[in-house]
């Protein structure tokens, strides 16, 4: 492709509408344009990268014996009513009517449609297992679409669904997909991590998220260098204390006046004790029950863990009036002694101490010298706080590190949630009717494009991993008007294309400075620079965009030297297997 002919409207300045780097660079490099809130058009430069991502996803899905299908984007309400999701999915589901007043939705996901397809066709155990995938448009009506391709309303996803005869077969399908995902993300040239995740409202017994590691990621995860344990923050287990510190001589609780001291920090400062000695009491409404959750003052409650422990589908912090009626005091003075709630649950890290300061359930007062086992009626001690970097690995006790990531893939075991709601059954070898066991496996294809940029950019632009770059090489031609040099450029271009690299040739009549700036912005991982001076010396300069390293290759032996240099960029800079 010649840059002079290429439909790639670049921008010199950061667009005001963009607040994350991938959004800025996607717009600046002429890859996408916004149609309206949360809807984007892909221009040729963006679409080339997207197609390369799809090709790698497709290659690995096919290698894992997944078969590609294409399901309708518009889905009838009747299927969603069968699973009950028509009512519970909420406003992210865009509902519409056709001319006959029949209800439909735009597909945000395809569990219902695929289950309908399979239940109508599969009768016998001999037809299982089967795993079907598609690469297709989804629509989720986000309240606040933002961050460009990171959180848009219409996007492209690869979604796969497995149907198995039993749990063992389902386990195998799940592991096969996990391995396929690892090959997808390493094949894309991204640095990623698979973490244990909470299954959330989709249900099912097990789930993993695949995160692209990037400082700017919205998700947090912990990694253990000792054993490789990896989990997202919602899920990561916090170990109970190794030894309890039972101070048997804890005196009786003593009421102390703490006027206006609503926070752990206020109370700790006043009593000159560490935050870790103050008990935080959080009051929740969990479905219809009133619940108190206790955590040490230096830890954060983990509402996902708490909701799972309670088996609650809705969990929300109690409003001020509820706090007043359950505790008899305003927010900030609740404690476990004499509290009128249905259940009191405590974080198991509290077992390390036995002498606490906590709210007294009266305004402007706390208790000190509280022993939970003696003075409060705690129903259960469990893991309900969020892990911190200073905590030990729950598996091997080594140190942990905290990282930021962008979720780009998620695999779930669905069990029989959809097959039982939609009656997807088969006859086993004995002729008995049984429910199919399902799994679902997603990859956010458009989000991957944004994630690749979040992970790989500098102040001048992005640099794509070679397998997904719109063009692997940009040939920056500094004298395209010079006939001899123009011909030499063509020779180099066909040599590079001959060994499988696609080339964007900057043949514009522009200053060198403009060309270098644009090459950095457009994101090819390799630049080949043709100029008069080098040409006269029989040399051509090349630049590895990611490392910034420049070298000269000989014009005479260009093909073999370029090929060797390109291999180095793949293997050493990007840690890719070619």
Residues near Zn ion, by CB under 5 A: 224, 226-227, 229, 393, 395-396, 398
Find the shortest distance in angstroms from Cβ 223 to Zn ion. Answer: 9
- Residue 269 near residue 297, CB atoms below 8 Å: no
Q: Of 536, 526, 531, 519, whose CA–CA distance to 561 is shortest?
A: 526
* Nearer to Zn ion (CB atom), residue 224 or residue 424: 224
**Buried b / exposed e along 376-387 (16+ C-beta atoms within 10 A):** bebeebbbbbbb
Find the shortest distance in angstroms from Cβ 381 to Zn ion. Answer: 23
Q: Of 128, 135, 190, whose CA–CA distance to 165 is shortest?
A: 128
Find the shortest distance in angstroms from Cβ 227 to Zn ion. Answer: 3
Between the CA atoms of 181, 184, 189 and 195, what dihedral angle is there, to the nearest 10 degrees? -10
Instruction: Give me the count of residues in the chain.
Output: 578
* Measured distance CA(554)–CA(532) in Å, rounded: 14
Query: Residue 286: beta bridge partners?
Result: 289, 315
Find the shortest distance in angstroms from Cβ 400 to Zn ion. Answer: 8
* Nearer to Zn ion (CB atom), residue 390 or residue 577: 390
CA 283 to chain centre: 30
* Nearer to Zn ion (CB atom), residue 255 or residue 396: 396
* Nearer to Zn ion (CB atom), residue 237 or residue 561: 237
* Nearer to Zn ion (CB atom), residue 391 or residue 474: 391
The residue behind tokens 């997808």 is 184
Find the shortest distance in angstroms from Cβ 388 to Zn ion. Answer: 15
Find the shortest distance in angstroms from Cβ 190 to Zn ion. Answer: 24
Find the shortest distance in angstroms from Cβ 225 to Zn ion. Answer: 8
Neighbours of 54 (CB within 10 A): 17
* Measured distance CA(555)–CA(164) in Å, rounded: 58
C-alpha distances in Å from residue 309, one per residue of 221, 232, 343: 21, 18, 12
* Measured distance CA(496)–CA(566) in Å, rounded: 10
Find the shortest distance in angstroms from Cβ 369 to Zn ion. Answer: 37
Between the CA atoms of 25, 27, 29 and 31, what dihedral angle is there, to the nearest 10 degrees? 120
**Buried b / exposed e along 336-373 (16+ C-beta atoms within 10 A):** bbebebebbbbbbbbbebbbbbbbbbbbebbbbbbbbe
The long-range contacts involving 237-240, CB below 8 angstroms and separated by at least 24 positions, are 237/383, 237/387, 237/394, 238/347, 238/348, 238/349, 238/383, 238/385, 238/386, 238/387, 238/391, 238/394, 239/391, 239/392, 239/394, 239/397, 240/348, 240/349, 240/351, 240/381, 240/383
- Residue 254 near residue 369, CB atoms below 8 Å: yes
Find the shortest distance in angstroms from Cβ 393 to Zn ion. Answer: 3
* Nearer to Zn ion (CB atom), residue 226 or residue 328: 226
* Nearer to Zn ion (CB atom), residue 283 or residue 393: 393
Find the shortest distance in angstroms from Cβ 168 to Zn ion. Answer: 28
C-alpha distances in Å from residue 204, one per residue of 197, 224, 383: 12, 26, 20
Find the shortest distance in angstroms from Cβ 194 to Zn ion. Answer: 15
* Nearer to Zn ion (CB atom), residue 388 or residue 568: 388
Q: What is the 3-state secondary structure (H, E, C) of 298-367?
A: CCCECHHHHHHHHCCCCEEECCHHHHHHHHCCCCCCCCCCCCCCCEEEEEHHHHHCCCEEEECCCCCEEE
Find the shortest distance in angstroms from Cβ 177 to Zn ion. Answer: 24
* Measured distance CA(337)–CA(361) in Å, rounded: 8
* Nearer to Zn ion (CB atom), residue 392 or residue 427: 392
- Residue 347 near residue 385, CB atoms below 8 Å: yes
* Nearer to Zn ion (CB atom), residue 74 or residue 227: 227
* Measured distance CA(25)–CA(454) in Å, rounded: 9
Find the shortest distance in angstroms from Cβ 213 to Zn ion. Answer: 18
Return the sign of the alpha-carbon dihedral for residues 391, 397, 401, 406: negative
* Nearer to Zn ion (CB atom), residue 395 or residue 508: 395
Find the shortest distance in angstroms from Cβ 224 to Zn ion. Answer: 3
- Residue 177 near residue 163, CB atoms below 8 Å: no
Find the shortest distance in angstroms from Cβ 267 to Zn ion. Answer: 35
The residue behind tokens 């929740």 is 284
* Nearer to Zn ion (CB atom), residue 324 or residue 395: 395
* Nearer to Zn ion (CB atom), residue 125 or residue 229: 229
* Nearer to Zn ion (CB atom), residue 225 or residue 578: 225
* Nearer to Zn ion (CB atom), residue 227 or residue 269: 227
Widest CA span of the chain, in angstroms?
A: 95
């Amino acid at each position: 492709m010649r840059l002079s002919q290429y439909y790639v409207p670049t921008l010199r300045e950061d667009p005001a509408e963009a607040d994350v780097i991938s959004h800025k660079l996607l717009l600046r490099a002429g890859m996408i344009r916004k149609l309206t809130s949360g809807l984007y058009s892909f221009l040729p430069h963006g679409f080339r990268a997207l197609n390369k991502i799809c090709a790698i996803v497709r290659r690995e899905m096919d290698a894992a014996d997944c078969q590609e299908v294409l399901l309708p984007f518009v889905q009838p309400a009747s299927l969603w009513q069968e699973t009950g999701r028509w009512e519970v999915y909420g406003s992210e589901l865009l509902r519409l009517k056709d001319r006959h007043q029949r209800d439909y939705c735009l597909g945000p996901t395809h569990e219902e449609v695929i289950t309908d397809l399979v239940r109508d066709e599969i009768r016998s155990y001999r037809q299982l297992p089967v795993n079907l995938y598609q690469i297709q448009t989804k629509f989720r009506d986000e309240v606040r679409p933002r961050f460009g391709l990171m959180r848009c309303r219409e996007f492209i996803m690869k979604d796969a669904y497995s149907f198995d005869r039993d749990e063992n077969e389902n386990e195998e399908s799940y592991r096969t997909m996990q391995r396929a995902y690892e090959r997808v993300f390493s094949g894309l040239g991204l640095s990623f991590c698979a973490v244990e995740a909470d299954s959330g409202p989709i249900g099912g017994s097990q789930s993993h998220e695949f995160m692209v590691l990037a400082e700017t990621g919205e998700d947090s995860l912990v990694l253990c260098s000792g054993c490789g344990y990896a989990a997202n923050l919602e899920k990561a287990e916090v170990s109970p204390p190794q030894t309890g510190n039972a101070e048997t001589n804890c005196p009786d609780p003593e009421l102390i006046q703490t006027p206006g001291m609503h926070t752990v920090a206020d109370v700790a400062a006043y009593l000159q004790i560490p935050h870790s000695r103050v008990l935080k009491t959080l009051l929740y409404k969990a479905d219809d029950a009133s619940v108190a959750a206790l955590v040490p003052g230096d830890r954060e409650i983990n509402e996902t863990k708490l909701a799972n422990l309670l088996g609650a589908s809705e969990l929300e912090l109690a409003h001020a009036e509820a706090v007043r009626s359950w505790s008899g005091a305003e927010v900030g003075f609740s404690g476990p002694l004499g509290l009128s709630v249905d259940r009191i649950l405590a974080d198991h890290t509290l077992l390390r101490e036995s002498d606490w300061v906590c709210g007294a359930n009266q305004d402007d007062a706390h208790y000190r010298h509280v022993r939970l086992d003696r003075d409060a009626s705690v129903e259960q001690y469990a893991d309900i706080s969020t892990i911190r970097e200073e905590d030990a690995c729950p598996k091997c006790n080594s140190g942990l590190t905290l990282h930021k990531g962008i979720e780009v893939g998620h695999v779930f075991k669905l069990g029989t949630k959809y097959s039982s709601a939609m009656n997807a059954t088969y006859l086993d070898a004995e002729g008995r009717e049984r429910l199919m066991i399902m799994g679902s496996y997603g990859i956010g294809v458009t989000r991957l494009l944004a994630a690749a940029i979040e992970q790989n950019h500098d102040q001048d632009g992005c640099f794509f991993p070679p397998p997904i770059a719109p063009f692997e090489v940009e040939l920056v031609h500094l004298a395209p008007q010079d006939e001899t040099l123009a011909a030499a450029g063509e020779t180099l271009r066909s040599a590079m294309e001959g060994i499988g690299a696609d080339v964007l040739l900057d043949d514009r009549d522009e200053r060198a400075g403009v060309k270098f700036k644009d090459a950095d912005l457009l994101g090819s991982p390799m630049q080949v620079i043709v100029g008069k001076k080098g040409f006269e010396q029989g040399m051509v300069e090349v630049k590895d965009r990611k490392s910034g390293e420049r070298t000269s290759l000989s014009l005479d032996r260009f093909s073999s030297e370029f090929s060797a240099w390109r291999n180095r960029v793949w293997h050493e800079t990007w840690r890719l297997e070619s």
